[in-house]
Chain A
């Protein structure tokens, strides 16, 4: 299926190096990645393996040291602010920490209004804008009436993360990066958030990229999984193959370290 369409987002030799001399640290090391349209992909790795740096490179938040990013078959050009905005209309992200993802000076309706404007709805009548915002809030089970005139920090972590999804609902990007979307919220909210993300994906047919250290989550949501170690992909493929029958020793160790329900957890192998 993947071979028929050109990849939506791809990278060739993408590298990011931090520091100089003996402080030099290669965070992302010559990564080649092809993401097809409507695919759900997980990038899994330990902390410090370069997952978040890779996401930042792909989002255009930091510049690569070397290598290229291709978006819809063309070389990505985000050298001016205008072009960056255009790019971000198609590529969006949900970040790990909902508490720091919002501008604390903006009220919630301003946050949502911004998204409508970014989608080109600046000239819509006010009533229609409110309608859109209400629709977005009801999609994530929040009540718009309760949110107006509130600041994001007045909400709980789970609510903020849902508001983040409401933003994505309004923006309808082609590609969504979810950088540890559930690591700061508890296990029961996690199911709700995942459900919403998957429903949103079904409705908008976007490409969804999960960046996570939670192997269970990666296995549950994604079609294919990439295992990252020290800036490189060590194993990739269909989720069932990689998670249930890992070939690389690193992947095997990673999966062994997760506490399981039906298998014994071997503590002697650390």
Chain B
């Protein structure tokens, strides 16, 4: 069995607004990423994907606050650690995080090599200038990036190249887990493919041991990750392998998400896109029952009252719904039959 790189148990975090209201953005999330595996997180905007990514780093700053739960990286519990210690000893070397629109994270007044020097000043101040240069050059060559990039300013690079530079800089210290939050959402298809190729190469060459990939583009997620976790309103509603989650979703929300996939393949034009009506609930005071009840097609009165935990089923899958696996499958079949008529 592969070594567990990142384990999260019942992690909850919240945002505190300036009116002292709490928004419970991540609610009792548990996950496990093994060595050499990648985990995808799917969900629509506002369901807590990015907040989860931030929370996983263990680096909390206002308005995000830690509530409860454990984050264990390679056997070391980092939850509740002093933020300064986390920044010095965890970020970069244990967990690397690529934020959304990461290409704007590059300082426009600094050359790329200076940005790399900055990383080493914080984590390994005894490295000489010469060593850093050589190291950076080797690293960039290995990742298939042109070495000239090092001597350029970020504004001289194209969007895709900037994104790949950010990724290269973030994995310089061989982190165990790489959290990539929508790394390709602002890029066109060709640059996107290059970024994905680079991420895959990072895994193969051992720069990173495991990866968490966040996006709402399901075809991309399906092609990149081994497992998919679907989030809704701060909770995990389904966890399965990529293939099962996409082609055989169980939770009504996942089912709805999969209905919105558009890919240029034959047969697409015959399918009617299924949009999920309504909006996610306000997490200031989350509903007592199932959080998806308001938008669910198969809702029954009980749904609104009893909250359901994650149900484990065979094949290492789990889902969060009041109905049993059999009932859900029957409901989907019936629906498909009605649509065909």
Check A261 against B260 for contact (C-beta < 8 Å).
Answer: no
Check B194 against A190 for contact (C-beta < 8 Å).
Answer: no
Interface string of B28-65 (1 = CB under 8 A from A): 00000000000000001110000000000000000000
Smallest Cβ distance from A219 to chain B, in angstroms?
5
Check B193 against A261 for contact (C-beta < 8 Å).
Answer: no
- A244 — which chain B residues lie within 8 A by C-beta? 264, 266
Q: Is A195 close to B, CB under 8 A?
A: yes
| Count of interface residues, chain A, beta-carbon cutoff 8 Å | 41
Q: Is B274 close to A, CB under 8 A?
A: yes
Most chain B beta-carbon contacts within 10 A, residue among A191, A217, A254: A191
The contact of B223 among A216, A219, A253, A259, by CB within 8 Å, is A259
- A263 — which chain B residues lie within 8 A by C-beta? 265
Check B188 against A195 for contact (C-beta < 8 Å).
Answer: no
Within 8 A of A (CB), among B256-285: 256-257, 259-266, 268-269, 273-277
Q: Is B69 close to A, CB under 8 A?
A: no
- B193 — which chain A residues lie within 8 A by C-beta? 257, 267, 270
Check A220 against B188 for contact (C-beta < 8 Å).
Answer: no
- Complex CA distance for A239 and B262, rounded to whole angstroms: 14
Within 8 A of B (CB), among A31-78: 46-47
Within 8 A of A (CB), among B205-219: 216-219
Q: Is A243 close to B, CB under 8 A?
A: yes
Interface string of B294-326 (1 = CB under 8 A from A): 000000000000000000000000000000000
- Complex CA distance for A217 and B265, rounded to whole angstroms: 11
| Count of interface residues, chain B, beta-carbon cutoff 8 Å | 40
Check B200 against A267 for contact (C-beta < 8 Å).
Answer: yes
- B218 — which chain A residues lie within 8 A by C-beta? 187
- A190 — which chain B residues lie within 8 A by C-beta? 260, 262
Nearest-CB residue, chain A, relative to B258: A261
Given A188-B275, A220-B269, A257-B189, does the pair A243, B264 have CB atoms closer than 8 Å? yes
Given A194-B273, A259-B263, does the pair A186, B45 have CB atoms closer than 8 Å? yes
Q: Is B114 close to A, CB under 8 A?
A: no
Check A270 against B197 for contact (C-beta < 8 Å).
Answer: yes
- Complex CA distance for A157 and B196, rounded to whole angstroms: 27
Q: Is A235 close to B, CB under 8 A?
A: no
Check B263 against A216 for contact (C-beta < 8 Å).
Answer: yes
Q: Is B99 close to A, CB under 8 A?
A: no
Chain A interface (Cβ within 8 Å of chain B)? 46-47, 141, 156-158, 185-192, 194-195, 213-220, 239-240, 243-244, 253-255, 257-263, 265, 267, 270
Other A-B pairs, 13, CB within 8 Å; known A47-B159, A261-B246: A47-B188, A186-B45, A186-B216, A187-B217, A187-B261, A188-B44, A188-B257, A190-B262, A195-B273, A216-B264, A220-B268, A255-B264, A267-B193
**Would you list the 10 A-B pairs with minimal beta carbon distance, nearest first?**
A191-B275, A216-B262, A191-B273, A257-B189, A186-B216, A192-B275, A191-B260, A259-B223, A259-B219, A265-B223
